[in-house]
C-alpha cells in the first residue's frame, strides 16, 4: 500500500504516450487442403481485428450460417490461395450488426454445407482504467484501483498479464490518460 502510494505521487500526472494496441487474430482459410478454418471458433475483445489468410483456394468468408448469410461481412467471391481479408470488430461494427451474444457465425459459401464454418465471439469488456466499473473514467477510479490491487482483484491487472504487480499502476495511468480510446479489459 505504501509503495503504491509513493508511486502515485510520482507518476499520477505524467502523461503517458504508451500505446496499447488492439489485437489482430489470424485465421487460416483452408489449411492443408481441408475445408475448414483454423482456429475455427475464436473469442476476441471489442476493437480487435480478425485477419483471414487463404492457404487453400476456392474459398470465401461470409457472415451467417450456411444457407442463412447475413450482411455483416463478406470477403467476396471464392478466391485463390494468398488472399487476405480483415474485419475490425469495433463498437461501430457491433452497433451496425447487432446479434445475440456478439456471436458472429461465418462460413465459406461453397463449402459451408461441408462443415467449413467458424465463429467469432466479441467480448465487450470495460475500459481497463474504469476500476469502479461505472462506465466512466474519473479520479475515483484511482482509489478503486488501489482497493482492487490490495484486495488481489484481477480487475487491477491493467497490463493484462495475469498477475498483479507495481507495473499495473503505470499501466493504469496509461490507460486512464487514453480515455475512452484506452484498452479494454476482462475482468
Ligand atoms: Cu471453402
Question: Is the per-residue pLDDT at 15 higher than 60?
Answer: no
Expressed as residue numbers, the domain containing 56 is 24-123
> Do 64 and 103 reside in the same domain of the chain?
yes
Mean pLDDT of 32-50: 93
68 alpha carbon to ligand 1 midpoint, in Å?
A: 16
Mean pLDDT on 87-110: 95
Residue at 10 is within a domain: no
Q: Which of 78, 97, 123 is the last residue of a domain?
A: 123
Count of CB atoms situated within 10 Å of the CB of 171: 25
Mean pLDDT of the 150-157 span: 95
Q: How far is the CA of 124 from the centre of ligand 1 (A)?
A: 30
- 42 C-alpha vs ligand 1 centroid, how far in Å? 18
Residue 108 Cα to ligand 1 midpoint, Å, equals: 5
Ligand 1 centroid – CA 69 distance (Å): 14
Mean pLDDT, to the nearest integer, of 23-47? Answer: 94
Q: What's the CA-to-centroid distance between 23 and ligand 1, angstroms?
A: 26
CB atoms within 10 A of CB 110: 14
pLDDT digits (tens, 9 = 90+) for 154-182: 999 999 999 999 999 999 999 999 987 78
Tell me the CA–centroid distance for residue 43 and ligand 1, in Å.
22
In this structure, the answer to whether residues 131 and 153 fall within a common structural domain is yes
**Can you give the pLDDT at residue 130?**
92
User: Are 154 and 80 contained in the same domain?
Assistant: no
Between the CA of 107 and the centroid of ligand 1 the distance, in Å, is 8
Residues 133 and 117 both lie in one domain: no
What is the whole-number distance in angstroms between the Cα of residue 117 and the centre of ligand 1? Answer: 9
> Is the pLDDT reported for residue 72 higher than 70?
yes
Q: Tell me, in angstroms, the distance from the centre of ligand 1 to residue 156's CA.
A: 43
How close is the Cα of 89 to the center of ligand 1, in Å?
22
Q: Are residues 114 and 55 in the same domain?
A: yes
pLDDT at 126: 81
pTM over 0.75: no
Domain-terminating residue out of 73, 102, 123: 123
Amino acid at each position: 500500500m505504501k509503495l503504491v502510494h509513493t508511486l502515485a505521487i510520482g507518476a499520477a500526472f505524467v502523461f503517458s504516450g504508451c500505446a496499447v494496441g488492439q489485437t489482430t487474430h489470424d485465421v487460416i482459410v483452408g489449411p492443408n487442403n481441408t475445408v475448414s478454418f483454423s482456429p475455427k471458433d475464436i473469442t476476441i475483445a471489442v476493437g480487435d481485428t480478425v485477419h483471414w489468410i487463404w492457404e487453400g483456394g476456392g474459398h470465401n468468408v461470409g457472415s451467417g450460417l450456411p444457407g442463412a448469410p447475413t450482411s455483416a461481412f463478406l470477403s467476396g467471391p471464392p478466391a485463390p490461395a494468398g488472399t487476405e481479408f480483415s474485419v475490425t470488430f469495433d463498437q461501430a461494427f457491433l452497433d451496425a450488426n447487432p446479434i445475440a451474444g456478439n456471436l458472429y457465425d461465418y462460413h465459406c459459401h461453397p463449402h459451408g454445407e461441408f462443415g467449413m464454418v467458424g465463429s467469432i465471439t466479441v467480448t465487450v469488456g470495460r475500459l481497463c482504467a474504469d476500476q469502479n466499473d461505472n462506465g466512466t473514467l474519473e479520479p475515483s477510479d484511482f482509489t478503486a484501483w488501489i482497493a482492487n490491487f490490495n484486495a488481489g482483484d484481477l480487475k487491477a491487472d491493467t497490463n493484462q498479464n495475469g498477475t498483479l504487480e507495481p507495473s499495473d499502476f503505470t499501466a493504469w495511468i496509461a490507460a486512464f490518460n487514453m480515455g475512452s480510446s484506452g484498452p479494454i479489459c476482462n475482468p
